[in-house]
Structures are given as structure tokens and as C-alpha cells.
Chains A and B, each alone.
Chain A
Amino acid sequence: MRLSASLSFSLILVAIGAGLVPVIAIGFGQGYELSRLFDAYFFRVVTFTIVQATLSTVFSVLFAIPVARTLARRQFPGRGLVLRLFALPLALPAIVAILGIVEIYGRSGWLSRLTALELDIYGLAGILIAHVFFNMPLAARMMLVRLDQIAPESFRLSAQLGFGAGAFWRFIEWPAIRETLPGIASLVFLLCAASFATVLTLGGGPQATTLEVAIYQALRYDFDPARASLLSMAQLALCVPLVALTAAAAGRLQHAPALRAKARRFATDTAFSRLADGGILAVALAFVFLPLIALVLAGIGAPFAWSAIAGAMITSLFLAGGAMLLSLLLAWPLANAAARGSPLLTRLLSTAALLAFIVPPAVLATGWFVLALKAGDPPHLAPLLVIVMNALMALPFGLSVLTPAVSQSAARHDRLCAGLGLSGFARLRLIDLPVLARPLGLAAALSFAISLGDLTAITLFGSQDLTTLPALVYRQMGSYRLDAAAGSALVLAVFSTAIIAMAERWR
């Protein structure tokens, strides 16, 4: 087990090294013609990355606070369903959600038709709407977890002391939410700073480009590895401290609210507060679910490009299946080593998994791209690179499911197995696989879903001959065939939702 863990660990390090080393080497090799690279474009991209991520974070968190408070205060039929559906924006492939947003806020979207205004979604406004759409529900769910942890005695105490809504907010709700803010804000900022699909589809030229997308453009359009290298370093400098910050704060946060019965509240309810809460809830539900509904409606009536969809579907299945397998093969020995190793080893291994987070995919791609060119750009390399990158991107999620399950099983079974002399394949077949079937299934489904929805790796390495479903949707959007894109997106959405629903059963 130790050997396979080291192997798994080394593979990850090699993959990341192969990304980072050429990036740095090229930079130095070309002597960083700084005057050429540090131009107005570079600073514009850096500024835009920071500004949009900051604004996205502020709006997501400000919107999430009243939503989380309302969800914590109110019991209503369908509340559990709303909480589950709040996971959808991040769980669905990004391109699907983005298309839904375009169906609402785009030039010919619902809002334009309703208000007879010429709305332009492309640019900063569109990026902000999409980022808030993705991250507000996430932030609200994380705040809700904390609000649900408020001790039942606090509700009784506040009822006994005669707290009104104001005192309740001041002494109970706000302190709980405030605790979660550093972790949530740094996570949302990180997700927005590294966001690729949103900025690629909704960003408008050099005016609205982030580092991640600029790296892609430098590689795929300008064939300028030196610029990609410099942009990569800027992206690393921005993301590494944030990942450290997020990881430090994330230990204290959970993502999914428990769907248990809630502690009894003694609400100081007024007609006004009921009305206000209802309004907040209605706005939040409309904001999150209208794009999804619009997408389904547009998709149903769409002209499906079946031959293109079928081809892309097969490619998607092949790549996502490969990434899922590779991700599980990497994760299994790591989870086992972490479950039985010293605390230091456990920390080391979880850091290794986080590396895939720390090094932005576009940066990895830069290095791999350069190495592939040096090797004469061998054919059939592109699908392999997509699989490896997706496997790395899925690894932290798979590990976060597997590690606790394996630890628990190890604590329960290790001594018994040792006593019975049960080890190796026999143990795997008789003990580990049956006991860990659900977490393994969940990890597999998560990895598959993440790879299935990926637009980053496929955009960086894909081509006309290598097109997945998300890439097809993106291409159809790019050529202004929104109706065809909606059809393909609906197929992708149904496919992903089926996998997520399957995974939910194993949770």
C-alpha cells in the first residue's frame, strides 16, 4: 500500500512538475523581455481579474446573507428540495448554466423581451451575474450550515430574554455568519479568480479577460509561450496565497447543510418580517432557477444536431470515463495511506491533492503544451492530456469523499483483518469493496460529473476532431446558434443530472 501510495504521489508530482518547470524555464530562457511582456495588456488583465473576482465575491456574499438567514428562519414545504437544488449551479456543467443565464439576460433573452431593453450580457456585467449565480447558493449553503449549528439553548435563552428580531440578529445570527465569512469569501474569490468557462464565454475581448483565459489565448491564438509563462506566474502569485487561506479556513466549514429537523425557534414574527422573508426567498429562487428553467424550455424546442451530439457524447463518455478511472486509481492508495499514516503524512497527502487546485489548469496546460511541442506534438496525445488534467481536477473531490470513509473502515477492520490474516486481494474483495462501495461509487460519480462538465481542459487541448459535449455547446454558442446550443446543453444537463442524482443516493 505504501508503494502504490508513493507511486500515486509521484505521478501527481510529475504531472504538476511537467506543467510548472517548462513555464519557468521558458520565462528565463527568453530572458523575460519584460518591456514586451509587462505591457498595458498584462496590467489590464491582472486588474480585471482582481476587480471582477472582488466584485463577484462581494455580491455573492451580500446576496447570500439574507438568503441564508431566511432559509434558517423559515420552515416551508419544499425547503429541503430548495437546499438540494441550490447545489445545482455548481454541480451542473458550467457551460449549461451559462447558456441558461444567456437565455434570461442575453440580447434576445427573457429580460430583454420583457422590458424591451437592449441588454448586453457580454462583459463585466455578464461575468458578475454568472459568478453570483454560481457562488451565491454555495455561500448561502455554507452559512446555513453554521446557522443550523446554533445551540437550541440559544433560541430558548433569546426567547426568555425577550430578544426581538434586531437583538436576535445582533447577538446570534450575525456572529455566526461573521465566523464563516473569511472562509467563504476566500473560497468564492478563488473560484472567481480562476474561473475559466464563464470568462471565456461571457468575457468580451481584451477589455474583459482574466489571467486564466489570457493564458489560453496566449497559447492557442498567439502561440506566445513566453507571455503564457508570465501570465501563469501572475496567476500562481494570485492563487497560491488564496488556496492557503481557503484551506486554513475550510477546515472549519462544511458545505452541505444537514437536512435534519430544526431546533424550535421562537420567532418574533410580524407581518412585515414574513413579507420580507418571502420576498427575499422569491428573488433568490427566481435568480437561481429561472436560468435553469429557461434552458430546459429552450432546449426542448431546439433543433437537435443529433450527429454532432452523438459524436460529442461518445468523446465525452470516453474522456470522462478515463478521467474517472485514473482519478480513482490515484485516490485509492492516497486515501489508504492517509488513513493509516502519521498526521504529518496525512497533511502531506492532502496538500498533494490540493496541488491540483493550487496550480491553475491553464498553467499546467502551458507546460504540457510546451513539452508536447518539443516532443514533436505526437498524435493522440491530446485526449490523454485531457484525461490526466480532468483526473487531477477531480482528485481533491474524490479524496474528500474517500479519505474519511477509508479511515473509518480502517479503524473498524484493521485489527480484525490482521488477526484473521486477511490481506491483499482477499481483503479488498471481502472487506474493502463491500464496505466502501458507496463512497467509491460517490467518488466515481463525482469525478465523472466533474470531467463530463469540464470546458477548461477540452478548450486548451481539444480540436475539431476532439469535441466533448461542453465543447460542442461552446462552439455552437460562439457561432451564434443559440437554439442548437440549447439542445446540446439540455442533453448534457440531463446526462449530468442523472449522474448527480445517482451520486446523491450514495451520499
Chain B
Amino acid sequence: MIRLDHVTFHYEDLRMEFDVAVAKGEFLGIIGPSGSGKSTLLNLIAGFESPAAGHIFIANREVTASPPAKRPVTMIFQDNNSFAHLDVWTNVALGLSPSLKLDADQRALINSALAATGLEAYARRKPGELSGGERQRIAIARALVRDQPVLLLDEPFTALGPKLRQDMLDLVVALHKSRGLTTLMVSHHPEDARRAADRTAFIANGRILAIAPTAELFAAARDPEITEYLGL
């Protein structure tokens, strides 16, 4: 579903190189030290960064030069996923149309996405009136209406408490399964990957040092760098 073919990218002194494939329907967790290139990997796939060399394919189509809006991708950031001056409903509606010209079907779609994320009571509230977890639900609801096959999550729940983080994670996993999404999630918390990911990649110094089924990666931890990072 997603393939990065010798994609290189330079950030300050760090030369990153990614060569990886993710299957359709897979949930890939991405862990590693900060500054190692985890977010850059997602930004390259979403089109927010352009590679120095290499090719990026999504759904068997090369998207290396495509602008973000032309890629079948939804990305959720750690924060600032919503526009503070627009209410929840409008924030979600922008996922369907930047001009907010919506027909009845689209309106119904928005309402059902709000219902699926437990936000229907907050439709007319501004994001500033909601809690951190509820604000991230706006981004998830928008991902639902956008209905893109690839979901990228960049430390989406890092700012939330442990219980809330688990609940949100479970919501994302449910969505991932019911929609048959291909999901990549960067997380500071290795246990997030453990809870949700089919496979997990460990990134350090701009390279994928290990990628394996999650249980295997955490159990074996052959690489001393991974052992060091996980504190095993």
C-alpha cells in the first residue's frame, strides 16, 4: 500500500534514508528517540516534506511530486488539528469541502462521524471549550469524513493521560479495522505500539534499524540501541 524506495532527506546535519513497505490494512507503530526522523517519515508520506532522492508510492501510484491534497492520506498531529475560531461541526466539514458547500448526504456524513467519535453534543462548541481528548476526536471525525485509505498519526495522544490515551488508541484501532485502513503511528510511548500495532519499526539517526511484528521486536530486542532505548 505504501512504499518508500530509497527515499533520502536532509535535515541540518542528519541524512535520513528510508526504504520500507507497508501492506494494505497494516497498523505500523513507529518508535525511537526524539530527533531520529519519526515525524519526518510521516511528513514525507503526507507530502509536507519533499525527498532529496528516491520514490514514494501510495496505492501503487507514485506520489513523490504530488502536493499533500492530492495524496490519499489523512494525517493527525499532536496538536493544532482544529481551527480555534470555528466550531466542531465546521472543523469536521472542512474535511469534505474547503468552501463548505455541502449537500444533504455530506451533512449526514458529518453528523454520523461526530456520533461515531462521541462529539455530537459538542457540534456547535469551539475547540477551545473542549478537553484535549475531545479536541483530538475532532481530528478523528475529520479523518472519518475524508475517508482516505491511509491514516498517519504523529504522536496524536502524547499530551493525554494514560487512561484517556488507551481509550483513544482503542477508538483508532476500531476505526482502522472497520475501515480497512493502512495506519502509521509515531509514538513516544512504546506501550502504544504494543497495544495497537501489527508491526513496529524502530528508527534512530534517520534510519529504520529494525522492523518486525510488534511482539517479536519487543521480545527479542537484539539490537543494543533498541535495548538501550527501551531500557530493557
> Which A residues contact B (CB, under 8 angstroms)?
151-154, 156-164, 166-167, 171-172, 175, 264, 266
Tell me the complex Cα distance, A264–B47, Å: 12
Which residues from chain A contact B73 at a C-beta distance below 8 Å? Answer: 160
A159 to B69, Cβ gap below 8 A?
yes
B75 to A171, Cβ gap below 8 A?
no
A264 to B94, Cβ gap below 8 A?
no
B77 to A156, Cβ gap below 8 A?
yes
Tell me the complex Cα distance, A305–B217, Å: 85
| B177 at interface by CB-CB < 8 Å | no
A163 to B83, Cβ gap below 8 A?
no
B86 to A171, Cβ gap below 8 A?
yes
Given contacts A156-B46, A156-B75, A160-B74, contact A167 B99 (CB under 8 A): yes
Q: Which 7 A-B pairs have the closest CB atoms?
A: A162-B69, A153-B80, A167-B98, A151-B80, A159-B68, A175-B85, A153-B77
B69 to A154, Cβ gap below 8 A?
no
Which residues from chain A contact B79 at a C-beta distance below 8 Å? Answer: 151, 153
Tell me the complex Cα distance, A165–B155, Å: 29
Which residues from chain A contact B86 at a C-beta distance below 8 Å? Answer: 171
List 24 contacting pairs A-B, 8 Å CB cutoff, sorted by A: A151-B79, A153-B81, A154-B83, A156-B48, A156-B68, A156-B75, A156-B77, A157-B81, A158-B98, A159-B67, A159-B68, A160-B74, A160-B75, A161-B95, A161-B98, A162-B69, A166-B99, A167-B99, A171-B86, A171-B98, A175-B83, A175-B85, A266-B67, A266-B68
Q: Specify which of A156, A159, A172 is in contact with B83 (CB 8 Å cutoff).
A: A172
Tell me the complex Cα distance, A164–B67, Å: 12
Tell me the complex Cα distance, A154–B80, Å: 7
How far in angstroms is the closest Cβ of chain B from A157?
7
How far in angstroms is the closest Cβ of chain B from A77?
22
How far in angstroms is the closest Cβ of chain A from B148?
9
The dominant DSSP class at the A interface is helix
How far in angstroms is the closest Cβ of chain B from A216?
45
Which residues from chain A contact B77 at a C-beta distance below 8 Å? Answer: 153, 156-157
Tell me the complex Cα distance, A134–B8, Å: 49
Q: Specify which of A151, A160, A164, A171 is in contact with B46 (CB 8 Å cutoff).
A: A160
Please, which residue of chain A has its CB at the minimum distance from the CB of B84? A175
Which residues from chain B contact A167 at a C-beta distance below 8 Å? Answer: 98-99
Which residues from chain B contact A175 at a C-beta distance below 8 Å? Answer: 83, 85
Which residues from chain B contact A154 at a C-beta distance below 8 Å? Answer: 80, 83
Tell me the complex Cα distance, A175–B82, Å: 13
Please, which residue of chain A has its CB at the minimum distance from the CB of B99? A167
How far in angstroms is the closest Cβ of chain A from B53?
19
A159 to B94, Cβ gap below 8 A?
no
Which residues from chain A contact B69 at a C-beta distance below 8 Å? Answer: 159-162
B85 to A162, Cβ gap below 8 A?
no
Which residues from chain B contact A157 at a C-beta distance below 8 Å? Answer: 77, 80-81
Which of B48, B86, B95, B99 has the largest count of A CB atoms less than 10 A from its CB?
A: B48
Please, which residue of chain A has its CB at the minimum distance from the CB of B85? A175
Instruction: Tell me which residues from 95 to 141 in chain B have a Cβ below 8 Å from any Cβ of chain A.
Output: 95, 98-99
Q: Specify which of B47, B81, B85, B99 is in contact with A159 (CB 8 Å cutoff).
A: B47
A159 to B98, Cβ gap below 8 A?
no
Tell me the complex Cα distance, A264–B49, Å: 9
How far in angstroms is the closest Cβ of chain B from A46?
37
Instruction: Tell me which residues from 143 to 161 in chain B have a Cβ below 8 Å from any Cβ of chain A.
Output: none
Which residues from chain B contact A171 at a C-beta distance below 8 Å? Answer: 83, 86, 94, 98
Please, which residue of chain A has its CB at the minimum distance from the CB of B82? A157
Which residues from chain B contact A164 at a C-beta distance below 8 Å? Answer: 98
Which residues from chain A contact B83 at a C-beta distance below 8 Å? Answer: 154, 171-172, 175
Tell me the complex Cα distance, A153–B84, Å: 13
Please, which residue of chain A has its CB at the minimum distance from the CB of B83? A171
A-contact 0/1 string along B49-84, CB 8 Å cutoff: 000000000000000000111000111010111010
How far in angstroms is the closest Cβ of chain A from B80?
4
How far in angstroms is the closest Cβ of chain B from A123?
41
Tell me the complex Cα distance, A338–B31, Å: 47
Which residues from chain B contact A161 at a C-beta distance below 8 Å? Answer: 69, 94-95, 98
